[in-house]
Amino acid sequence: MKPAAAGRAFLCSFCLALCSLCCAQVLWRSGDHEWKKLIMVHHWPTTVCMEVGNNCRSPPDYWTIHGLWADKAEECNRSWHFDLNEIKDLLQDMKVYWPDFLHSPSNRSSFWKHEWEKHGTCVAQLEALNSQQKYFGKGLDLYRGLALNSALLKLGIRPSGNYYQISDIKDALASLYGVVPKVQCLLPQQDEEVQALGQIELCFTKDLQLRNCTDPGEPPREPAGGRGRARPAGALWGLEVCEDGPVFYPPPPEGGR
């Protein structure tokens, strides 16, 4: 092959490779990693313990953080690994408000690792969340600002042997926060007759302003953890959007924190 022909062949190959790379970047932007809203996910530890059975360890007697999630994207940057040293100044609050009560203390950071690598790497496209320090710090800030524990008490909704109506809980939260939340339950297990209150999601825009969790005509999101897959740290399989009707808000067991 003559030098000029070889040069043209190389240039064509280079252009094709560059084109493929650009297309891949466009697909990344417009595909599975696109998202519209942030979801601040609270879960009720007593119900988590009902779902996982004997693996639970001294659940707190207050709502705790499950995670801060994008509504669609997951595992957006698999090379951005969790580093506990980056949040060492947050650890005291993390242990209280974002605890992992499913694992032994020696393995407790596995929950935070899962949340960062699955969800944090996606919401990190926002400047306010573009580091592990910012992601977990902002999650704690949003949790404190929403004050779900005191909000429910103010609304007269507290753990009890009596049942509530799902519509009453949703309406009460909507009246307080001014937006429609998403409420998830653990469906009846074995001899139980009533679903148990398990998770409350409050949603934000990318500007961190409260917004409705569901748009008209939007299909329900897949239950946390997904079905038919290995359970990651902190994932719950049995939680689904609550059915209309009665719900049990289970009191914490004696000895809960």
C-beta separation of 128 from 138 below 8 A: yes
Choosing from 51, 119, 201, 240, the catalytic residue is 119
Quick one: which of 141, 139, 102 has its CA closest to 225?
A: 102
Burial of 30 (0-12, 13-18, 19+ CB in 10 A): exposed
Token representation of residue 256: 């809960």
SS3 at position 134: helix
Choosing from 115, 117, 201, 240, the catalytic residue is 115
SS3 at position 136: helix
SS3 at position 109: helix
Quick one: which of 159, 155, 225, 231 has its CA closest to 196?
A: 159
Choosing from 33, 42, 66, 114, the catalytic residue is 66
Q: Is 81 a catalytic residue?
A: no
Q: Is 222 a catalytic residue?
A: no
Residues identified as active-site: 66, 115, 119
